Amino acid sequence: VISIFIDAPYQIEFNKSDTLTAVADVDRIIIACAATCRPSCSYKWVKTDGSVVENSKILDLNPVQKLDDGSFVCVAWNKHNKQGLKKDLKLTVNCK
């Protein structure tokens, strides 16, 4: 008997906190998003206005800019859930 497990994305996590604070033009933020899924997931990072920031599981803001202030959404999907699973990240950017 051969068992094949097929899972839509679930249990999405960040490698850091869901809420971050950074200083504009000084700090760099690198955050990874990961979900449990089989077959493997595709990822993207989106701003709340719908613009895609990254087409990968890694969000890399270097350096962080004041316009980065706000919410980012990591979306993970595979062929079993094309809508995707979403998780919000809140970034507060202070001026130096």
Give the tens place of pLDDT for each residue, 24-80.
999 999 999 999 888 889 999 999 888 999 999 999 999 999 999 999 999 999 888
pLDDT grade, residue 83 (50/70/90)?
confident
Q: What CA–CA distance (Å, rounded) separates 8 from 22?
A: 33
* pTM reported for the whole predicted model: 0.87
